[in-house]
Amino acid sequence: MTDAANSGRVGADRPPVILYEEVVKRYGGFVALNGVSARVHQGEVVCLIGPSGSGKSTLLRCTNALEAIEGGRIVFEGQTLPTPALAAPVRRRMGMVFQNFELFPHKSALENVAIGPRTVLGTAKAEAEEKAQALLVKVGLADKAASYPSELSGGQQQRVAIARALAMEPEVMLFDEPTSALDPETVGEVLNVMKRLAEEGMTMIVVTHEMTFARRVGSWVVVFDKGRVVEEGVPKQVFEQPREQRTRDFFSHLSWSG
Amino acid sequence: MTYDWSVIWQYRGALLSGVGTTILLSVLTMAIALPGGVLVMLMRRSPIAPVSWLGAAYVEFFRNVPAILLVYWTFYVLPIVAAIDIPPFTTGLLALALSVTAYNAEAFRAGVGSIRQGQWNAGLALGMTRSQTFLKIVLPQAVSRVVPAIANNWVSLFKNTSLVSVIAVGDLAYNAMQIRSQTYRILEVLTALAVIYWALGFPQAKFVDWLQKRYGVKE
Ligand SMILES: Nc1ncnc2c1ncn2[C@@H]1O[C@H](COP(=O)(O)OP(=O)(O)O)[C@@H](O)[C@H]1O
Ligand SMILES: [Mg+2]
The rounded distance, in Å, linking the Cα atoms of A197 and A204 is 9
Residues from chain B that touch A100, judged by Cβ atoms under 8 A, are 118
Which residue in the set A61, A88, A104 is minimally distant from B127, CB to CB? A88
User: What's the number of domains chain B is made of?
Assistant: 1
B137 at A interface, C-beta within 8 A: yes
Q: Helix (H, G, I), strand (E, B), or coil: what is residue A23? A: strand
For residue A116, being part of any structural domain is answered with yes
Nearest CA in chain A to B141: A106
Residues from chain B that touch A171, judged by Cβ atoms under 8 A, are none
Band (pLDDT 50/70/90 cuts) for residue B170 is confident
**Is A54 close to ligand 1, i.e. is its CB under 6 Å away?**
yes
**CB B137, CB B119: distance < 8 Å:** yes
- Is residue B127 predicted with pLDDT exceeding 90? yes
C-alpha of B34 from chain center: 9
| Backbone region of residue A4 per phi and psi (left: phi > 0; alpha: psi in -120 to 50; beta: other values) | alpha
**Is A208 close to ligand 1, i.e. is its CB under 6 Å away?**
no
The reply to whether residue A120 touches residue B121, judged by beta carbons under 8 angstroms, is no
The mean pLDDT of chain B is: 90
Domain interval for residue B101: 7-214
What does chain A come to in residues? 258
For residue A138, being part of any structural domain is answered with yes
The rounded distance, in Å, linking the Cα atoms of B155 and B158 is 5
For residue A3, being part of any structural domain is answered with no
Q: Helix (H, G, I), strand (E, B), or coil: what is residue A70? A: coil
Flag residues of chain A having pLDDT under 50. 1-3, 258
Dihedral over alpha carbons B73, B74, B76, B80 (to 10 degrees):
120
Nearest CA in chain B to A167: B126
pTM summary value:
0.84
Band (pLDDT 50/70/90 cuts) for residue B166 is confident
Question: Edge-to-edge strands of the sheet including A228-233?
Answer: A94-97, A172-176, A203-207, A45-49, A220-225, A228-233
The rounded distance, in Å, linking the Cα atoms of A29 and A105 is 36
Q: What is the CATH number of the domain that holds A239?
A: 3.40.50.300
User: What's the number of domains chain A is made of?
Assistant: 1
**Is A58 close to ligand 1, i.e. is its CB under 6 Å away?**
yes
For residue B35, being part of any structural domain is answered with yes
Buried b (16+ CB within 10 A) or exposed e, A233-250: bbbeebbeebeeebbeeb
Domain interval for residue A171: 11-254
Could you say which residues from 65 to 104 on chain B have a Cβ atom under 8 Å away from some Cβ of chain A?
A: none
pLDDT at B191: 92
- Is residue B218 predicted with pLDDT exceeding 80? no
Identity at B82, one-letter amino acid code: A
ipTM score assigned to the predicted complex? 0.94
Which residue in the set A88, A96, A165 is minimally distant from B128, CB to CB? A88
**CB A197, CB A97: distance < 8 Å:** no
pLDDT at B216: 56
Q: Tell me: the pLDDT tens digits for B17-69?
A: 989 999 999 999 999 999 999 999 999 999 899 999 999 999 999 999 998 99
Which residue in the set B121, B132, B136 is minimally distant from A66, CB to CB? B121
- Find the radius of gyration of the CA atoms of chain A: 18
- Is residue B106 predicted with pLDDT exceeding 90? yes
Band (pLDDT 50/70/90 cuts) for residue B3 is confident
**Is A218 close to ligand 1, i.e. is its CB under 6 Å away?**
no
For residue A230, being part of any structural domain is answered with yes
Q: Which residues contact B9 (CB under 8 A, 6 or more apart)?
A: none
What's the distance, Cα to Cα, between the start and end of chain B in Å? Answer: 59
Count the neighbouring beta carbons within 10 Å of the beta carbon of residue A5.
11
Backbone φ and ψ of B214, nearest 5°: -70, -45
For residue A5, being part of any structural domain is answered with no
Helix residue ranges per DSSP H, A123-182? 125-138, 154-166
pLDDT at A258: 45
CA of A211 to the centre of ligand 2 (A): 15
For residue B219, being part of any structural domain is answered with no
For residue A2, being part of any structural domain is answered with no
Mutate to test the interface with B, among A81, A111, A115, A173 (most CBs of B within 10 A): A115
A135 at B interface, C-beta within 8 A: no
The pairing of strands A172-176 and A94-97 is parallel
Q: What is the CATH number of the domain that holds B190?
A: 1.10.3720.10
H or E stretch covering A79: strand A79-80
- Is residue B217 predicted with pLDDT exceeding 50? no
